[in-house]
């Protein structure tokens, strides 16, 4: 059982805006910043968002992150077929001495 | 450019050990921590620990303490992760990663599949 809870699946049509949630607690999201990763099957995860809402160089501005209290969200606007992938949230947790924890992942399907 | 290149797939029997390597290039090897994570088939990501390549200091996730050893060879800019007493549920893709620009895992190796089966 992950310490961060994500919906197992999400879907949208091309051009739509979708949001993926990540729910935690005061010992993790409530204390630390959140990162988001995108993983296409058979490949390594790719960093999409760091420090709650910062996009690394090269990540399209269609991707945005936010955090409020003990929850975080990833929003994808102008959905494209290439966005079909699994998305993971991650942060650290005080109950694990600051070690990293991940959500179970959300499979995004572009219909 | 930054590259993390891992060793190839491994098959081990239960109770054996496996050692996975990760060769780094394109950045100052001793300037950044290395991390190891794993992903069981169809599952999420699991963080295993970090290695400071400058000092050799390590920190392991509690789940793996006593079974994992992370080391480095600065002469060939390579880090290693050795996992002992393998069980079937250690079957996973093992990744090395680093945090070069931001406080998150921004560069990843390609992954190494370790299969534990009798």
Instruction: Give me the pLDDT at residue B101, please.
Output: 82
Instruction: Give me the pLDDT at residue B102, please.
Output: 82
- Locus of tokens 């003990």: A70
- Predicted confidence (pLDDT) per residue in B86-98, tens digit: 999 999 999 999 9
Strand pairing report for B107-108 and B112-116: unpaired
- A88 to chain B, closest Cα gap in Å: 8
- A57 to chain B, closest Cα gap in Å: 10
Closest CA to A18 of A27, A26, A9: A9
B113 in contact with chain A, both atoms CB, cutoff 8 A: no
B57 pLDDT tier (thresholds 50, 70, 90): very high
Sign of CA dihedral A60, A73, B40, B21: positive
User: Once rounded to an integer, what is the mean pLDDT over residues B99-117?
Assistant: 93
User: Once rounded to an integer, what is the mean pLDDT over residues B77-103?
Assistant: 95
State which residue of chain A sits closest to B98, comparing Cα positions. Answer: A47
Interface of B with A in 49-68 (CB under 8 A): 61-62
Instruction: Give me the pLDDT at residue B30, please.
Output: 92
Cβ-contact A111, A104 below 8 angstroms = no
Instruction: Give me the pLDDT at residue B100, please.
Output: 86
Q: What's the CA gap between B15 and B118, in Å, rounded?
A: 10
Q: What's the CA gap between B87 and B17, in Å, rounded?
A: 10
CB < 8 Å to B102, chain A: 47, 50-51, 54, 56
B103 pLDDT tier (thresholds 50, 70, 90): confident
B47 in contact with chain A, both atoms CB, cutoff 8 A: yes
Instruction: Give me the pLDDT at residue B44, please.
Output: 93
Percent of chain B with pLDDT over 90: 96
CB < 8 Å to B108, chain A: 44-46
CB < 8 Å to A33, chain B: 103
- Predicted confidence (pLDDT) per residue in B9-56, tens digit: 999 999 999 999 999 999 999 999 999 999 999 999 999 999 999 999
| Interface touch B104/A88, C-beta < 8 Å | no
Cβ-contact B97, B109 below 8 angstroms = yes
- Locus of tokens 């080391």: B71
- Locus of tokens 């250690």: B90
Q: Which residues pair with B98 in a beta bridge?
A: B34, B107
- pLDDT by residue for chain A (111 residues), tens digit each? 789 999 999 999 999 999 999 999 999 999 999 999 999 999 999 999 999 999 999 999 999 999 999 999 999 999 999 999 999 999 999 999 899 999 999 999 999
């Amino acid at each position: 059982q992950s310490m961060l809870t994500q919906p197992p699946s999400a879907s949208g049509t091309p051009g739509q805006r979708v949001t993926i949630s990540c729910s935690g607690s005061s010992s993790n999201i409530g204390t630390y910043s959140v990162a988001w990763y995108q993983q296409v099957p058979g490949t390594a995860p790719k960093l999409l968002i760091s420090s709650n809402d910062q996009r690394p160089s090269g990540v399209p501005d269609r991707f945005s992150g936010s955090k409020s209290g003990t929850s975080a969200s990833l929003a994808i606007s102008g959905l494209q077929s290439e966005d079909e992938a699994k998305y993971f949230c991650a942060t650290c947790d005080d109950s694990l001495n600051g070690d990293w924890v991940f959500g179970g992942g959300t499979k995004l399907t572009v219909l | 450019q930054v590259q993390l290149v891992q060793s190839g797939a491994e098959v081990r029997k239960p109770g054996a050990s496996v050692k996975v390597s990760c060769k780094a290039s394109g950045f100052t090897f001793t300037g950044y921590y290395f991390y190891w994570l794993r992903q069981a088939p169809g599952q999420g990501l699991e963080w295993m620990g970090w290695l400071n390549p400058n000092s050799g200091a390590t920190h392991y996730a509690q789940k793996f303490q006593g079974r994992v050893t992370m080391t480095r060879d600065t002469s060939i800019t390579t880090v290693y992760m050795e996992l002992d007493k393998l069980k079937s549920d250690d079957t996973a893709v093992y990744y090395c990663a680093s945090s070069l620009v931001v406080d998150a895992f921004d560069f990843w190796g390609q992954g190494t599949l370790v299969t534990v089966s009798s």
